[in-house]
Amino acid sequence: MKFSKVWSLILLCSSQGATAQLDIGQTSYTQFCSACHGKNGEGLSVEGNSAAGIPPLSQSEWLKGDADRVAQILLHGLEGPITVKGRSYNQIMPAQGALSDEQAVAVINYVRREFVGEKANYTLGDFKLARKFSKDRKKGWKAKELQELYPLPRPVSPIKNLLMQTYDGEWEATPNFSEIKSNAIEEEHDGYISLKKINKKKLFGVMWEGDFVVTKKAIYEFELDSDDGSRLTVGGNVVTSVKGMGGMGRRKIGKISLEPGSHKFRLEYFQNRGGKGLTLRYRERKTKWKWLSDAVQRNQPEKRIIDITPKDGKVRMYSNFIAGSTHRTMGVAYPHENNIAFSTENCNLDLIWKGDFINAGRHWVGRGQGAEAPASKDVVRLFKSVPWLNADGSQALKVKLKGYSMDKTGSPTFSYLVDSDLMVSDHFVSSAGSFQRVMNIESKSDREILFKISAQGAFKNGIIYIGDLMLKLPADTEVSSQGKSYHLKLSLKKGSNPLTILYTWKK
Ligand code: HEC
């Protein structure tokens, strides 16, 4: 009896704490935001000219997912073109410097919970890290920059229970895959069509099946494009198909009238030889197209070469799929033709190469699928996993990118958390024939961890040799090896722990 009383007391207190914070959130919202964004987050619309209005917060995709995105908007403001709930705006939101940190955190939790139903779990610590991360920033964010740092969640797909089956074979026309034995089946939980997970280049087929759910009786249009052929069937009817072999750009549109409810969805696709690609989008007639596959930019010539190697002494960043790195990765080109791919998923240096940076044509104007390889042949692949391990090397530690800040030349410093309480800053200084990686690890206690530096190569006299690259480690670091992997043993002290590694090209 007594016990449960104590518990309910504790529960009461903690829930009151949260409520109190949301109260501060609400009053701060009224005080600092509602004049522009409206009492209920509805925004301000100017008849016939959305670019002159103020975007809504209610159901805004910009509030969903990573809360650091909102924190950055409050810290530095936002300017230039932005699309919110399908409408474009082009205005300036000033930085919200008048809010105390406590009010900012309360407002962030309030708007996320109230307007998009996210959990109110953003903390003062999170906000302080967000501030530290962008402390050198002097101007408002652009929507595009924020989107690169904190990608927007995709809208919920109307395709439920999506299964992808893959086949091996050579076809010149789309076969009936339901009569062929597949060699693999996989659930696609996000309900989106994608060829990204398929590593094969030629002689394969794919069939996706699921339930296409609509809430409104209407005529729906589907637009299909593929290299090579494909066929879309909804509710047992072939809606549209791209016939036979050939490249992208053979778009076909088909329509079908659907009742509210669930309709069997089937998409079949085959790839013979040469390029591959598949896109599908749909709309209720006369409304905006919505992607059912990976989105691509259209109406541009394909495979244009855009060389974005910097020639002006500045640093260039390219955030997209890079072959040999993880899905979320940041390519950075430094002066002196030194380039890296830094995985923002694993907080790891995946690739280093010298020479030309990358051809951005594929992602910027092409069909946008697949990963682009570095434009140069001199690539050293380090490894593709989390480099931070516990002291005995048995376990990778959790990492989370907090973001990056840039100096005057555009050179980024990545900031990330390791094991929830080590704060690492990581940047590269380029010079002719080599570059230096400068890290600092902020630790709350004395502890030992391992830092994996290479998964191959040879180690001699404080230098790791991999391909054309030599990695010079700080004097007296202890290196251990597991198989071909080399680990630095770091005895961290409470406070700052600098770590510098020199990467030099052998001629
Ligand atoms: C002076 C008017 C003004 C104030 C005050 C203001 N905003 Fe904004 N806000 C804007 C404008 C204008 C934009 C769009 C900027 C653009 O076009 O790039 C915007 C964009 C945003 C966005 C991203 C787009 C969207 O609609 O989701 C968020 C999130 C946001 N504001 C949150 C807030 C919060 C929270 C506050 C209060 C702490 C606040 N704003 C205060 C004018 C304002």
Q: Is 84 in the pocket of ligand 1 (CB under 6 A)?
A: yes
- For residue 160, give every residue at least 6 positions away whose Cβ sits within 8 Å of its Cβ, in sequence order, or none: 191, 210, 211, 213, 262
Position 187: which residue type? E
Q: Find the range with the poorest average confidence among 175-184, 213-222, 259-268, 328-337.
A: 328-337
Which protein residue has the closest C-alpha to ligand 1 atom 7?
Answer: 93
User: What does the alpha-carbon distance between residue 465 and residue 458 come to, in Å, rounded to a whole number?
Assistant: 5
Residue 427 scores a pLDDT above 90: yes
Task: Establish whether the linkage from the previous residue to 228 is cis, with ω within 30° of 0.
Answer: yes
Residue 364 scores a pLDDT above 50: no
User: What does the alpha-carbon distance between residue 148 and residue 152 come to, in Å, rounded to a whole number?
Assistant: 9
Q: Which atom of ligand 1 is nearest to the CA of 143?
A: 18
Distance 88 CA to ligand 1 centre (A): 14
Q: Is 41 in the pocket of ligand 1 (CB under 6 A)?
A: no
Both tokens of 300, joined, read: 């541009």
Closest CA to 280 of 291, 269, 288, 289: 291
- For residue 503, give every residue at least 6 positions away whose Cβ sits within 8 Å of its Cβ, in sequence order, or none: 352, 434, 435, 436, 437, 469, 470, 471, 472
Which protein residue has the closest C-alpha to ligand 1 atom 23?
Answer: 62
Q: Which atom of ligand 1 is nearest to the CA of 55?
A: 26
Distance 93 CA to ligand 1 centre (A): 5
Q: Which atom of ligand 1 is nearest to the CA of 99?
A: 38
CB of 96 within 8 A of CB of 11? no
Q: Is 146 in the pocket of ligand 1 (CB under 6 A)?
A: no
Q: Which atom of ligand 1 is nearest to the CA of 91?
A: 17
Q: Which atom of ligand 1 is nearest to the CA of 54?
A: 12
Q: Is 62 in the pocket of ligand 1 (CB under 6 A)?
A: yes
Over residues 79-98, the pLDDT tens digits come to: 999 999 888 899 999 999 99
User: What does the alpha-carbon distance between residue 236 and residue 255 come to, in Å, rounded to a whole number?
Assistant: 13
* Confidence band, pLDDT 50/70/90 cuts, at residue 142: very high
Q: Which of 232-236, 370-374, 407-411 has the highest mean pLDDT?
A: 232-236
User: What does the alpha-carbon distance between residue 507 and residue 37 come to, in Å, rounded to a whole number?
Assistant: 58
Residue 12 scores a pLDDT above 70: no
User: What does the alpha-carbon distance between residue 105 and residue 101 come to, in Å, rounded to a whole number?
Assistant: 6
Question: Residue 198: its pLDDT value, please?
Answer: 87
Question: Residue 359: its pLDDT value, please?
Answer: 62
CB of 345 within 8 A of CB of 328? yes
Over residues 106-121, the pLDDT tens digits come to: 999 999 999 999 999 9
Mean pLDDT of the chain: 85
Closest CA to 126 of 72, 78, 61: 72
Q: Is 36 in the pocket of ligand 1 (CB under 6 A)?
A: yes
CB of 434 within 8 A of CB of 421? no
Question: Residue 383: its pLDDT value, please?
Answer: 86
- 103, 398, 477, 478 from 486: Cα distances, Å: 46, 19, 12, 10
Over residues 281-295, the pLDDT tens digits come to: 999 988 888 999 987
- 162, 165, 432, 440 from 182: Cα distances, Å: 16, 6, 52, 50
* Confidence band, pLDDT 50/70/90 cuts, at residue 50: low
* Confidence band, pLDDT 50/70/90 cuts, at residue 41: very high
Q: Find the range with the poorest average confidence among 115-124, 144-153, 234-243, 388-397.
A: 144-153
Distance 229 CA to ligand 1 centre (A): 45
Closest CA to 134 of 79, 80, 81, 68: 68
| More confident position, 137 or 17 | 137
Q: Which atom of ligand 1 is nearest to the CA of 56?
A: 26
Question: Residue 304: its pLDDT value, please?
Answer: 40
Q: Is 89 in the pocket of ligand 1 (CB under 6 A)?
A: yes
Position 299: which residue type? N
Q: Is 73 in the pocket of ligand 1 (CB under 6 A)?
A: yes
Which protein residue has the closest C-alpha to ligand 1 atom 43?
Answer: 93
Residue 224 scores a pLDDT above 50: yes
Mean pLDDT along residues 2-17: 41
User: What does the alpha-carbon distance between residue 175 and residue 228 come to, in Å, rounded to a whole number?
Assistant: 12
| More confident position, 287 or 260 | 260
Closest CA to 253 of 229, 228, 293, 282: 282
Position 39: which residue type? K
The burial of 184, by beta-carbon neighbours within 10 Å (0-12 exposed, 13-18 middle, 19 or more buried), is given as exposed
| 445 φ, ψ (degrees, to nearest 5) | -155, 170
User: What does the alpha-carbon distance between residue 428 and residue 417 come to, in Å, rounded to a whole number?
Assistant: 18
